[in-house]
Structure 1
Amino acid sequence: MVQVTVDPVSRIEGHYRINTEVNGEGVITDAQSNGLQLRGFERLLQHQDPRDAALLSQRICGVCPVSHGIAAANALDELFGVAGEVPKDGLLMRNIHQALNFIASHAAHIYVLWGPDLANPAYRDILAKYGDVGNAVWKELQGRFAPLIYQIDGASYPAGSSYLGAIVEFRRLHEAISLIASKMPHPVLQHVGGVVYSPTVADIGQILSYVTKTMEFVKTFTLGVSPDTWIENTYRASSPQKAANFVLNHLQELLNKSLDSKDFSHSAGWGDVPLFAAFGSELIGEKLLGLPISMKMDLAGTYKDPDKIGFLSYGVFFKPEKGNGYDPTSPADSRVIPSGYMNGYFKLEKFDYKKISESISHSFYIDDVNDRSPWNGITVPEGNPENIDYTKGSKSRYSWAKAPHYNGIPCEVGPLARMMVMGEPLVTGLVKTFQDNGYYPVNNYTRMIARMQEILVVVPEMIEWLTQDLQAGGKVAVHTDLSMAKSSTGMGLWEAPRGALGHWIATGSDSMVTLYQAVVPSTWNLAPRNSQGTPSPVEQALIGTKISAAENALGVDYSNPLGILHTARSYDPCLACAVHTIDKTTIDKTGKHPDYTIKVL
């Protein structure tokens, strides 16, 4: 048995460590997901004016501040008793704000954080076994996804064309956010009761021009076909089977033209998504398209026990046809991407926020109760540094992240969970294709396909909000004053690009904050074990994964653990969001408050 530790995991947000045990065949047999960073935003919000939460909570993370701002504003809407009155145009502004952030965040992850692993030299050697065709594919991977500083065998190569192009689009989308929200990161648009700015006709036109430019990049680099063509045949397909068949037929047509010419370039129609879709999967590439070789990412990052995993979405993007106001509990029919829980056998159930709880049994916190609802959350950090040790294995405490679960089950959250809960045709069709061929549908390959596809789900919805639903200069907020928050509670359920995001807030008789809890996507995905000892999603996905590229195609290489890196990064980790604390001096020995949980002494 060999211990392989990646510390820190790079190209993510925050400080993260993964420890694994690997057997002689190069298969991971145990894993611990270590959140290394303790932050203080829940502490900072204690005793504060609750209206500050929509601004202060954004500082949890510079990548997804938009999501935290909206989740906090949603919680404040309920706290102040105005969730049912927020004007339609205010809700649409939240939608548009979040949509721009979704597209930018996904682009950054696909191309800048995760994509460079496709240019790992292990794939050069694997693809070389396919002769001239494999070498041509490797040339494309390297030429598209190589990062800014990139060397192989002492030779330097330029950054990839897609990598550099995505950075330009990331900046463009941030400019679009700044147009309506003052700045990015940490914009100032969100507020209790709505938003603080109503756009002009010129603003709407300018945002559309930004999106049009980004879609040109998507056409030329990402898809290789018109986004409209892709959307009509996948997201708007009449059935999941037709959506999956469109992609498979498109890949086959590209291969028919390129296998002889050995031209897999953008100009030959090989967008980044088709290139990955064909060569990333054993099932799609080798078994269905007849390729002799692939990166086999559909065999890594899977779940071995469907009874111990679920897939969760809180729902995101208010439906314009619902008009003013919304239900804070997020019924499935109230959001464009709906709420829902899907078990490990892919059976969909109605979402119930009361089933959410967090465990600290394997975390560096102190509590007599292992599992608590966020409404009763206590975050008392371990005060003795001698008790903070990341190396004692799975039965110990080993992370600053808590372990959320839904009715006792750890859940994957993020694009794949959302698209499955939504029943998005392409992702649903791929799930069925994998099932029909004896593969578990959730893996590193399908996570990335779902993230790519979600961009194409969000864009047409956003264009409709901008061109048909939003009224320039319309009412975007209702009046509130601090007295409305006296001795109250609020819950904000939303979705960040990385997955389900919830903020919970309570106030005392002076309307100041007495409790603030944030349960964030990376806490769900990258937690330690829960109180039943069940590994978190990323730990389950690592266990059973082979440590080296393409199922150890070149043998076991502990120095280049792509199995760990692909799997961990497939969740788009954001450890800055996942680990927090509050001042333990504000909690008595029982952890009780006369009205809530936190005691102000």
Structure 2
Amino acid sequence: MVQVTVDPLSRIEGHYRINTEVDGDGVITDAQSSALLLRGFEKFLMNQDPRDAALLTQRICGVCPVSHSIAAANALDELFGVVEEVPQTALVMRNIHQGLNFIASHAAHIYILWGPDLANPAYHDILMQYGDTGNAVWGELAGRFMPIVNQFNGIRYPAGSSYLGAIGEQRNMHDAISLVAGKMPHAVLQHVGGVVYSPTIADINELAAYVEKTAKFVEAFTLGLSPDTWIENTYKASSPQKAVNFVLERLQELLDNSLVSNDFSHSSGWGDVPLFAAFGSELVGEQLLGLPISMKMDRAGAYPDPDKIGFLSYGVFFKPENGDGYDPTSPADDRVIPSGYMNGNLELEEFDYRIISESINHSFYIDEEGDRPPWNGVTVPERDPDKIDYTKGSESRYSWAKAPNYGGIPCEVGPLARLMIMGEPLTTGLVQAFRENGYSPVNNYTRMIARMQEVLVMISELMKWILQDLEAGAKVAVHTDLSMAKNSTGMGLWEAPRGALGHWIATGSDSMVTLYQAVVPSTWNLAPRNSRGIPGPVEQALIGTKISAAENALGVDYANPLGILHTGRSYDPCLACAVHTIDRTGKHPEHTIRVL
């Protein structure tokens, strides 16, 4: 048995450690997922004016601050008793604000954080065994996904064209957010009872122009064909099978035109999604399309025991047709992307927020109760440095992240969970195809395809919200004052790009905060073991995964553990959300701390 530790896992948001045990065949047999910093926002929001929460909680994360501001605003809507009165235009503004951030965040993950692994030197060595075709595919991977500074085998590679292009599109989405929200990150748009800015006709036209610009990038780089054509035949397909057939037929057409010439370039129609879709999967590439080689990402990042994993969505994006107000419990028919829970056998159940809890048995926190619901949560950190050790194995405490559970079961959250629960045709069809062909339906390949597909879904929905549902000069907030929050509670259920995000708040007789708990996506995905000893999602996905590229195609390489890197990064880890620091100098009492 060999211990392989990646500390820190790079190209993610925050500080994260993965420790694994690997057997002689190069298969991971055990794993510990460790968040390396103490979270503190739940502590220093205590005794604050609750109206500050939509601004302060954004500082949890610079990648997805929009999600925290909206989750906090949703919680404040209920806290102040105005959740049924929030104006329709304010809800549409929240949709647009979040939708723009979804695209920016997904672009950063797909192209800048996760994508460079497609240009890992191991794939060069694997593909070179397959002659001109392998050489051509490697040239495309390196030419598209290389990061800004990269050198191996004595060759210095320029940054990839798609990598650089995605940086520009992320900036484009940030500019769009800034147009109506003041700035990005840490915008000033969201507030209890609505938003603080009513868009003009000029704003609406400019927002549409920003989204259209990104759509052009998607056509030229991401898809190789019109986003409208892709959406009509996948997201809007009449059945999952038709959506999958469209993609397979498109890939086969591209291959028929390219295998003789070995031209897999953007100019020949090979967008980044088709390139990954064909060569990333053993099932799709080798079995269905007849390719000689694939990265076999559908063999990694799976869950070995369906009884120990679930998939969760809180629901996101208000339905404009519902008018003013919304239901804070997020019933399935209240959001564009619905709430729901899907068990490990992919059976859909109705979402019930009342069975969410967090375990601290394997976390560096002190509590007489091992599991608590977030509306009764506490955050008391371990203060003895001798008891903070990440190296003692699975039976110990080894993380600053808590372990969220849904009815006692760890859950994967994020694009794949959302789109499966939604019944999005392409995602549903792919999951069914993998299951029918003897593969795990959830794996690193389906996880990444779902994130790519969600970008296309967002572009489609954003254009509708902007051009059809957004009303210039309309009412965007209802009146509130601090007295309305006296002795009250609120819950904000929402979805960040990375998954289910919930904020819970309570106040006392002076209307100041007495409880604040945030259960965030990376706490769900990167959790340690829970009170029942069940590993968290990424730990389960690592166990059984082979440590090296393409199912150890070149043998076991402990120095280049792509199995760990692909699997860990496939969840788009954001440890800034899951953990953070607090002031320990004693100079600033908790109720006076401000985040600037």
TM-score above 0.5, yes or no: yes
Give unpaired runs (5+ residues) of structure 2. 587-596
Alignment of 1:209-224 (within 5 A): 209-224=209-224
| Alignment of structure 1 residues 534-573 onto 2, 5 Å | 534-573=534-573
- Letter of the aligned partner of 1:129 in structure 2? Q
* Number of the residue aligned with 2:591: none
Does 182-191 or 454-463 show the bigger shift? 454-463
- 1:312 matched to 2:305: no
Pairing of 1:433-582 with structure 2 (within 5 A) = 433-580=433-580
Helix, strand or coil: the match of 2:259?
Answer: helix
SS at match of 1:85: coil
Measure the CA separation in 2 of the matches of 1:585 and 1:560. 40
Residue 195 of structure 1: CA displacement? 0.2
**2: distance between equivalents of 1:78 and 1:139?**
54
Q: TM-score, normalised by structure 1?
A: 0.97
Does the alignment pair 1:177 with 2:172?
no
- C-alpha RMSD over aligned residues: 1.2
Q: Does the 8 A contact of 2:37 with 2:581 survive in 1?
A: no
- CA distance in structure 1 between the partners assigned to 2:149 and 2:485 by the alignment: 51
Counterpart residue number, 2:10: 10
Tell me the residue number matched to 1:157: 157
Is the partner of 1:261 in helix, strand or coil?
coil
Q: Distance in 2 between matches of 1:580 and 1:117?
A: 27
For 1:388 and 1:40, how far apart are their aligned partners in 2? 17
Contact 1:380-1:583 within 8 A present in 2 as well: no
| Residues 269-299 of structure 1: CA deviation (Å, up to 9, x unaligned) | 0000000000000000000001111000000
Q: Is the 8 A contact 2:39 2:578 kept in 1?
A: no
Contact 1:9 / 1:18 at 8 angstroms: preserved in 2?
yes
Note if 1:141 corresponds to 2:141.
yes
The answer (yes or no) to whether the contact 1:379–1:584 under 8 Å persists in 2 is no
Q: Is the 8 A contact 2:198 2:472 kept in 1?
A: yes
What are the superposed Cα offsets for residues 474-528 of structure 1, whole Å, 9 maximum, x if unpaired?
0010000000000000000000000000000000000000000000000000010
C-alpha distance after superposition, 1:168-214 (max 9, x if no partner):
00001100000000000000000000000000000011111111111
2:124 counterpart residue number: 124
User: Contact 2:39 / 2:400 at 8 angstroms: preserved in 1?
Assistant: no
Amino acid in the other structure paired with 1:568 = G
**CA deviation digits over 1:66-106, x for unaligned, max 9?**
00000000000000000000000000000000000000000
Percent identical among aligned pairs is 80
- 153-162 or 109-118, which moves further after superposition? 153-162
Aligned partner letter, 2:163: Y
Does the CA-based 8 Å contact 1:380-1:582 persist in structure 2? no
Cα offset, 1:39, TM superposition:
3.2
Match of 2:327 in 1: 327
Matches within 5 A, 1:20-31: 20-31=20-31
2:397 matched residue in structure 1? 397
Structure 1 residue 44 displacement after superposition:
1.6
The DSSP-based 3-state class of the residue aligned with 1:517 is strand
> SS state of the match for residue 83, structure 1?
coil
Is the Cα–Cα contact under 8 Å of residues 315 and 338 in structure 2 kept in the other structure?
Answer: yes
Aligned residues of 1:311 and 1:411 also touching (Cα < 8 A): yes
Residue 378 of structure 2 aligns with which residue? 378
Contact 1:42 1:580 in 2 (8 A): no
Q: Deviations over 1:5-30 (max 9, x none)?
A: 00000000000000000000000000
Distance 1:334 1:584 in 2: 43
Is the partner of 2:222 in helix, strand or coil?
helix
Tell me how far apart the structure 1 counterparts of residues 580 and 353 of structure 2 sit (CA, whole Å). 21
Equivalent-residue separation in structure 2 for 1:29 and 1:433 (angstroms) = 27
Cα shift at 1:470: 1.1
Deviation for aligned residue 1:40: 1.8
Does the residue aligned with 1:26 lie in a helix, a strand or coil?
coil
In structure 1, C-alpha distance between the alignment counterparts of 2:432 and 2:326, rounded to whole Å: 34
Rounded to whole Å, the distance in 2 between the matches of 1:572 and 1:496 is 11
Query: Which residue in 2 is equivalent to 1:431?
Result: 431
1:227-266 alignment runs, 5 A limit: 227-266=227-266
Aligned partners of 1:379 and 1:581 also within 8 Å:
no
Q: Alpha-carbon deviation of 1:128?
A: 1.3
Structure 1 gaps of 5+ residues are: 587-601
Contact in 2 for aligned 1:380/1:581 (Cα 8 Å): no
Q: Which amino acid aligns with 1:63?
A: V
Aligned to 2:75: 75
For 1:390, the aligned partner's letter is Y
2:107 corresponds to: 107
Give CA-to-partner distance per residue, 1:365-422, whole Å, 9 cap, x none: 0111000000110111001000000000000000000000000000000000000000
Distance 1:431 1:41 in 2: 37
Q: Distance in 2 between matches of 1:383 and 1:448?
A: 39
Deviations 1:540-578 (A, max 9, x none): 000000000000000000000000000000000000101
Provide the C-alpha distance between the structure 2 equivalents of 1:262 and 1:123, rounded to a whole number of angstroms. 17
Report the TM-score, using the length of structure 2 for normalisation: 0.97
2:593 corresponds to which residue? none
Distance 1:482 1:393, change over 3 A: same
Letter in 2 for 1:254: L
Instruction: Read off the aligned partner of 2:442 and give its amino acid letter.
Output: V
Counterpart CA distance in 1 for 2:35 and 2:303 is: 21
Q: Give how far 1:581 is off.
A: 7.5
Q: 1:593 aligns to what? A: none
Shift of 1:583: 9.1
After superposition, the Cα gap between the structure-2 partners of 1:39 and 1:583, relative to the gap in structure 1 and judged at 3 Å, is same
Aligned partner letter, 1:196: V
Aligned-pair CA distance for 1:580: 4.9
2:22–2:30 contact (8 Å) kept in structure 1: yes
Offset of residue 154 of structure 1: 2.4
User: 1:585/1:144 Cα in 2 relative to 1: closer, same or farther (>3 Å)?
Assistant: closer
Native 8 Å contact 2:116 2:145 kept in 1 = yes
Task: String of CA shifts for 1:306-358, please: whole Å, max 9, x gaps.
Answer: 00000000000000010000000000000000000000000000000001000
Amino acid of the structure 1 residue aligned with 2:269? G
Question: CA contact under 8 A between 1:234 and 1:426: conserved in structure 2?
Answer: yes
Task: After TM superposition, give the deviation of residue 584 of structure 1 in Å.
Answer: 11
- Secondary structure class of the residue paired with 2:84: helix
* Contact 1:100 1:177 (C-alpha < 8 Å) held by counterparts: yes
